[in-house]
């Protein structure tokens, strides 16, 4: 069988690497972006995903990369993994997705499975089924197979999912997924088959729930700070209950990335469309919007205003281990600090992140090393918990900095870590020196 993966971002490439390394079938990756295809053909992998890139490299003789629409011929299974960003009003922008559906309708030349991996507007699976199978020559069996990959471990998550959520119309579709995911089936990974709507909602509800967990702990951090508690202790105390769990319970400057903000907004939008108040999702988003604002206020308070203060922003990507700056708290903080007159330098261990940050902020000195960013500043602001940041010693900071203020938006240090610098974090007592 020929498998065609359409859209070669995190999801598409992880799907492609999985198919190639787990079957003897023909595997083709298609993307409209010719540069991306050319780079992939020359082993130039643009994502900072070590395991994924290694697998793609090892499989290079098996995978065909192309931008040619001819790839849509003779396909037995299409996997759609194109982007579905947010529109201004929170609705899901499905334009790229429906272009692919149009291409399938026009160019496919026999029956095929159409597996939806993109996070799509709820109702899409049924709609696509109707669109593709209306007075067509061929039958397309539509399968909703939402992905649950995190950036920085995209391939590992694709290989070892906690569960499969599968929206299907018939037994044949389910059998197909069980066949291609045989190893997981044998390993006892649960397969939940359901309607398309339920599968699509499972994806949104999962992301919204995780986002809510983060906003919940962030709300608690505000109270802890006022009452003299320590949010890290509180989070440990809560997370030890297996019904709660430690994961996604770290307070910080808020969640970013291409998924949580977009998916909570999409649910709120769907609620509005259906006259249902999505109060919890609204609150999750509100806490997340105000969280960096409160952190900014703390920076302003401790530095007695930021005008003409030299500040280093450390951690530009929305989380450690990725080069992705989408909806990163660093964007909001940089913009606000600049507006208030601060002189900013910036650094992220990821070159991709630094380069894309530079494009958005020409007046910020984006540095190629941590030391250069920190040199001569009055304060440093940590916004991600990268290993490089965790390992920075106070002696090194003291040598480089002019001032003595450390703001930690991810609680990466203990409140006792700094002996000579004032340390201000989230939901914990300030250690002022
Ligand atoms: C998220 C989900 O975790 C994946 O399951 C999902 O498949 C993916 O979205 C998607 O829809 O494609 P991702 O956006 O890569 O994955 O990142 P996460 O690791 O979940 O982190 C999201 C944000 O939450 C980051 O800004 C992170 O710093 C923040 N976060 C995470 C916290 O503030 N506290 C935590 O305890 C955990």
User: Which ligand 1 atom sits nearest the alpha carbon of residue 328?
Assistant: 26
The CA distances from residue 188 to 164, 181, 185, 373, in Å, are 11, 11, 5, 49
pLDDT 10s digits, 367-376: 999 999 999 9
Which residue lies with its CA nearest to atom 24 of ligand 1? 255
Which residue lies with its CA nearest to atom 6 of ligand 1? 148
* Residue 333: DSSP 8-state: H
Which residue lies with its CA nearest to atom 37 of ligand 1? 248
Which of 203, 255, 264, 320, when mutated, tests ligand 1's pocket best, judged by the most ligand atoms within 8 Å of its CB? 255
DSSP secondary structure string for all residues of 379-412: EEEE-S--HHHHT--HHHHHHH-SS-EEEETT--
pLDDT value of position 203: 98
Which residue lies with its CA nearest to atom 1 of ligand 1? 150
CA of 150 to the centre of ligand 1 (A): 6
CA of 261 to the centre of ligand 1 (A): 10
Of residues 190, 65, 196, 176, the one with CA closest to residue 124: 196
Work out the average pLDDT over 122-133: 97
CA of 402 to the centre of ligand 1 (A): 35
Find the helix or strand (DSSP H, E) in which 22 lies: helix 10-22
pLDDT value of position 357: 98
pLDDT value of position 38: 98
Q: Is residue 82 scored above 90 in pLDDT? A: yes
pLDDT 10s digits, 181-201: 999 999 999 999 999 999 999
Which residue lies with its CA nearest to atom 9 of ligand 1? 259
Q: Is residue 162 scored above 90 in pLDDT? A: yes
Q: Is residue 135 scored above 90 in pLDDT? A: no
What are the backbone dihedrals phi and psi of residue 122, each rounded to the nearest 5 degrees, phi first? -65, 130
The token pair that represents 45 in the structure block: 């992998």
The token pair that represents 54 in the structure block: 């290694």
Which residue lies with its CA nearest to atom 23 of ligand 1? 255
CA of 330 to the centre of ligand 1 (A): 16
Q: Which residues line ligand 1 at a C-beta cut-off of 6 Å? A: 119, 147-151, 207, 210, 214, 248-250, 252, 255-257, 259-260, 318-319
pLDDT value of position 30: 98
Of residues 256, 261, 299, 285, the one with CA closest to residue 426: 299
User: Which ligand 1 atom sits nearest the alpha carbon of residue 254?
Assistant: 33
Active site residues: 259
The token pair that represents 71 in the structure block: 């790839």
Which residue lies with its CA nearest to atom 31 of ligand 1? 248
d(CA 49, CA 282): 32
Contact of 406 with 397, CB cutoff 8 Å: yes
Angle between helices 196-227 and 260-273 (to 10 degrees): 110
Which of 84, 151, 152, 203, when mutated, tests ligand 1's pocket best, judged by the most ligand atoms within 8 Å of its CB? 151
CA of 259 to the centre of ligand 1 (A): 7
The token pair that represents 132 in the structure block: 């593709």
Work out the average pLDDT over 322-333: 96
CA of 337 to the centre of ligand 1 (A): 25
Q: What confidence tier does 259 reach under pLDDT thresholds 50, 70, 90? A: very high
User: Which ligand 1 atom sits nearest the alpha carbon of residue 329?
Assistant: 26
d(CA 382, CA 367): 15
Which residue lies with its CA nearest to atom 7 of ligand 1? 148
User: Which ligand 1 atom sits nearest the alpha carbon of residue 320?
Assistant: 28
Q: Is residue 136 scored above 90 in pLDDT? A: no
CA of 250 to the centre of ligand 1 (A): 11
Q: What is the mean pLDDT of the chain?
A: 97
pLDDT 10s digits, 6-16: 999 999 999 99
d(CA 331, CA 275): 33
Work out the average pLDDT over 376-394: 96
User: Which ligand 1 atom sits nearest the alpha carbon of residue 319?
Assistant: 28
* Buried residues in 56-95 as b, exposed as e (16+ CB within 10 A): beeeeeebbbbeeeebbeebebbbbbbbbebeeebebebe
User: Which ligand 1 atom sits nearest the alpha carbon of residue 384?
Assistant: 28
Which of 92, 150, 232, when mutated, tests ligand 1's pocket best, judged by the most ligand atoms within 8 Å of its CB? 150
The CA distances from residue 171 to 73, 177, 383, in Å, are 25, 10, 47
């Amino acid at each position: 069988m020929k498998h065609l993966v359409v859209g070669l971002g995190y999801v598409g490439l992880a799907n492609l690497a999985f198919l190639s390394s787990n079957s003897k079938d023909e595997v083709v990756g298609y993307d409209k972006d010719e540069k991306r295809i050319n780079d992939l053909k020359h082993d130039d992998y643009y994502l900072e995903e070590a395991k994924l890139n290694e697998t793609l490299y090892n499989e290079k003789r098996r995978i065909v990369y192309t931008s040619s629409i001819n790839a849509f011929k003779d396909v037995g299974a299409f996997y759609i993994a194109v982007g579905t960003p947010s529109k201004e009003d929170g609705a899901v922008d499905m334009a790229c997705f429906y272009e692919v559906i149009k291409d399938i309708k026009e160019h496919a030349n026999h029956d095929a499975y159409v597996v939806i991996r993109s996070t799509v507007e709820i109702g899409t699976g049924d709609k696509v089924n109707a669109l593709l199978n209306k007075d067509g020559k061929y039958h397309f069996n539509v399968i909703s197979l939402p992905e649950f990959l995190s950036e920085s471990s995209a391939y590992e998550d694709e290989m070892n999912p906690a569960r499969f959520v599968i929206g299907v119309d018939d037994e044949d579709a389910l059998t197909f997924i069980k066949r291609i995911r045989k190893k997981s089936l044998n390993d006892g990974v649960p397969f939940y088959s359901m309607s398309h709507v339920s599968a699509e909602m499972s994806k949104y509800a999962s992301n919204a729930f995780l986002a809510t967990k983060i906003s919940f702990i962030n709300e608690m951090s505000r109270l802890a700070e006022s009452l003299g508690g320590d949010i890290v202790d509180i989070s440990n105390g809560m997370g030890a209950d297996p019904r709660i769990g430690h994961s996604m319970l770290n307070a910080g400057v808020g969640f970013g990335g291409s998924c949580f903000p977009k998916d909570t907004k999409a649910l709120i939008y769907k609620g509005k469309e259906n006259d249902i108040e999505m109060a919890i999702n609204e609150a999750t988003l509100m806490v997340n919007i105000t969280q960096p604002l409160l952190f900014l206020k703390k920076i302003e308070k401790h530095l007695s205003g930021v005008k003409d203060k030299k500040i280093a922003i450390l951690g530009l990507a929305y989380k450690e281990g990725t080069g992705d700056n989408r909806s990163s708290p660093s964007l909001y903080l940089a913009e606000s600090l600049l507006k208030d007159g601060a002189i900013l330098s910036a650094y992220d261990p990821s070159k991709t992140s630094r380069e894309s940050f530079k494009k958005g902020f020409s007046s910020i000195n984006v540095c190629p090393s941590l030391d250069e960013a920190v040199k001569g500043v009055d304060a440093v602001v940590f916004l991600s918990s990268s290993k490089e940041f965790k390992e920075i010693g106070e002696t090194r900071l003291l040598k480089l900095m002019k001032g003595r203020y450390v703001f930690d938006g991810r609680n990466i240090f203990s409140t006792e870590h700094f002996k000579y610098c004032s340390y201000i974090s989230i939901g914990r007592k300030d250690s002022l020196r």
